[in-house]
Amino acid sequence: MRLFDELCPAPPYWGLDWGRVREAFAWVRDLAGVEQDPVHHAEGDVEVHTRMACEALSELPEWRARPADERVRIFAAVLLHDVAKPLCTRRDEDGRVTAHGHSRGGDLLARRILWESGAPIEWREHVAALVRHHQVPFWALERPDLRQIAFRASLLARNDDLVVLATADILGRHCGDTSEVLDNIGLYAEYCAEQRCLDTPRAFPSDHARFWFFRRPDRDPDYAAHDDTRLTVTVMSGLPGAGKDHWIGANRPDVPVVSLDALRTELGVRPTADQRPVAAAAAERAREHLRAGRSFVWNATHVSRDLRGRSVSLAADYRARVEIVALEAPPRVLGERMDRRSAPVPRAAVERLVRRWECPDPTEAHRVTRLATGEASGQDRTRRV
């Protein structure tokens, strides 16, 4: 990303020009004046904290020692780590300032910001994952599901990046003695190293072993689970106009399709109406294929992890191999495609989907393929994760 590269502190002086950062990004300016809990953030508003975190990052020897592209990626994550606080900050009934959900909200908002600015998919998703997990090293050692969290973070980003981000975050505050939190961050790094997932993705014996570990985290991650799948379900994921129908026609021409768009037409349900009857009809069509042991394509937007999870869980219950195909295109391309449709999805409905968009990741299926369509070069780019 050109702007992040230009603004990132660099040798030999490692200086941060915050004025240029503010000028470049409206979402940074939006952080000004947003209150914070004074117990954990006595330094001032969210913009002040973000600037201090970036300054702390620029002083870290472990960050300076990284290759330039890695430094830029972590710098982007630090800039974005509290980007959702303007949307999440509230005062509770006791008058305390809270920002519950800002990590997950930050993941969603960072994805949108970087998508609209044309960031490459893998770079964008790495940064968004760091934003989502940026608080993990603070409290992870208290979590009973720590292993699952650490493994997931390693597959989406890198835990050593997360450690650097968390360190800059805590050093960019005025909150009294930070030694205990810094110790926790160090212990998290040691734990990840012991679990072989600090600077590399956690390895599994097979796709099937990985898939079932994240469905049943009490399993031994090194257990080579027997692959007893009996059919393949291809779960499509993508915003309207991303090219799902085109991809199915080109890549699964002879495979049955359970299509929510087709069912909406069949049932006479508008995209803005209650979608529960459509979802119920799709699930029943899917069960017919699953009972018969027949591979099929599940064609829906499936933009949120929760909605994908329902389809994936149903398929897994029938011993299906699950492959998620995630399609996306630049905002301009999506808009042009929607304008050409005879019955376009209302823009308000598309906007609601964009706000909920979570890109599929390797913890959700046996295989995840990400495909960018509508590139400026005219070429689509595929990435398996």
Q: What angle do CA 197, 201, 202 make, to 5 degrees?
A: 55
Rounded to whole angstroms, the Cα distance separating 158 from 290 reads 36
Rounded to whole angstroms, the Cα distance separating 303 from 294 reads 25
Q: Does domain 2-194 have CATH number 1.10.3210?
A: yes
Rounded to whole angstroms, the Cα distance separating 232 from 283 reads 16
pLDDT at 379: 43
pLDDT at 44: 86
Is residue 29 within 8 Å of 71, Cβ to Cβ?
A: no
pLDDT at 197: 98
Cα 40 to Cα 43, 46, 220, distances in angstroms? 9, 12, 37
Q: Which CATH superfamily, name and number, covers 231-384?
A: P-loop containing nucleotide triphosphate hydrolases (3.40.50.300)
The domain segmentation of the chain, as residue ranges, is 2-194, 231-384
Per residue, what are the HEC states of 182-219?
HHHHHHHHHHHHHCCCCCCCCCCCCHHHHHHHHHCCCC
CA 334 to chain centre: 20
With CA atoms as reference, report the closest residue to 138 among 196, 104, 186.
Answer: 186
| Per-residue tens of pLDDT for the chain, all 385 residues | 789 999 999 999 999 999 999 999 999 999 999 998 888 888 889 999 999 999 999 999 999 999 999 999 999 999 999 999 999 999 888 888 888 999 999 999 999 999 999 999 999 999 999 999 999 999 888 888 999 999 999 999 999 999 999 999 999 998 878 899 999 999 999 999 999 999 999 999 999 999 999 999 789 999 998 999 999 999 999 999 999 999 999 999 999 999 998 998 898 888 778 888 899 999 999 999 999 999 999 999 999 999 999 999 999 999 999 999 999 999 999 999 988 987 788 888 899 999 999 999 999 999 999 999 885 433 455 555 6
- Residue 110 is encoded by which pair of tokens? 């960072």
Rounded to whole angstroms, the Cα distance separating 248 from 267 reads 22
Is residue 134 within 8 Å of 185, Cβ to Cβ?
A: no
pLDDT at 384: 57
pLDDT at 275: 83
Per-residue buried b or exposed e for 368-381, using 16+ beta carbons within 10 Å of the residue's own CB = bbbbbbbeeeeeee
Is residue 211 within 8 Å of 366, Cβ to Cβ?
A: yes
Residue 288 Ramachandran class (φ > 0 left, ψ -120 to 50 alpha, else beta): alpha
With CA atoms as reference, report the closest residue to 108 among 81, 128, 135, 124.
Answer: 128
pLDDT at 363: 97
